[in-house]
């Protein structure tokens, strides 16, 4: 599949076109005319209305997917708002993993050209995500261990105050901590 004539635009012109396409006051026809005027000034061939339309449709689809992802993240974060932070982090990590996977699939299904820089950035993002997930899991285990230790200590104290032997209190404490 041939590369889109819009994607071959100089970066500054592509950004300008994107701005025009996002502006609700400017029609696609006007955006195409403005683009072609600038292309004529620099001696580049004009782009067709259909090429601009196809690109606008792609932009809208990507924008809709981003909006949907944001809405889903807000919904789930709202749902788990009172849950332990680690659970929210796990959920968001999973959402980002899925987005990275879908991005990689879309890149390979697109025009067949995957820029090495984009592939490198995607790989680095996944690596950072995995490192963050490992840190979050470790932190969650440490928090749970601290909570258990505090509960065991308070239980031991309450048992001793209730008149049970120190040995019995220690035995119960060991069971709480999962040692016995």
Average pLDDT over residues 36-45: 93
pLDDT digits (tens, 9 = 90+) for 106-141: 766 655 566 677 667 777 777 787 787 788 778 888
pLDDT digits (tens, 9 = 90+) for 78-103: 665 545 455 666 666 677 777 777 77
pLDDT of residue 41: 92
Structural domain boundaries of the chain? 1-79
SS3 string of the chain?
A: CCCCCCCCCCHHHHHHHHHHHHCCCCCHHHHHHHHHHHHHHCCCCCCCHHHHHHHHHHHHHHHHHHHHHHHHHHHHHHHCCCCCHHHHHHHHHHHHHHHHHHHHHHHHHCCCCCCHHHHHHHHHHHHHHHHHHHHHHHHHHHHHHHHHHHHHHHHHHHHHHCCCCHHHHHHHHHHHHCCC
pLDDT of residue 120: 75
Which of 40-49, 125-134, 164-173 is modeled with the greatest confidence?
A: 40-49
pLDDT of residue 108: 62
Contact assessment for residue 91 and residue 76, using Cβ atoms and an 8 Å cutoff: yes
- Answer whether 0.75 is exceeded by the pTM: no
- Indicate whether 27 pLDDT > 80: yes
pLDDT of residue 39: 93
Contact assessment for residue 53 and residue 30, using Cβ atoms and an 8 Å cutoff: no
């Amino acid at each position: 599949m041939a590369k889109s004539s819009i994607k071959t635009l100089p970066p500054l012109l592509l950004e300008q076109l994107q701005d025009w396409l996002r502006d609700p006051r400017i029609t696609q026809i006007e955006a195409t005319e403005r683009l072609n005027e600038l292309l004529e000034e620099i001696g580049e061939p004009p782009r067709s209305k259909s090429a601009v339309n196809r690109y606008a449709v792609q932009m809208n689809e990507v924008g809709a997917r981003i909006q949907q992802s944001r809405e889903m993240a807000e919904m789930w974060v709202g749902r788990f708002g009172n849950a332990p932070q680690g659970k929210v982090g796990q959920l968001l990590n999973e959402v980002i993993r899925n987005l990275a996977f879908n991005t990689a699939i879309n890149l390979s299904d697109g025009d067949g050209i995957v820029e090495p820089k984009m592939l490198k950035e995607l790989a680095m993002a996944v690596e950072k995500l995995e490192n963050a997930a490992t840190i979050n899991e470790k932190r969650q285990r440490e928090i749970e261990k601290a909570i258990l230790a505090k509960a065991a200590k308070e239980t031991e104290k309450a048992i001793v105050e209730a008149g049970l032997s120190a040995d019995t209190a220690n035995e119960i404490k060991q069971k709480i901590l999962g040692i016995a």
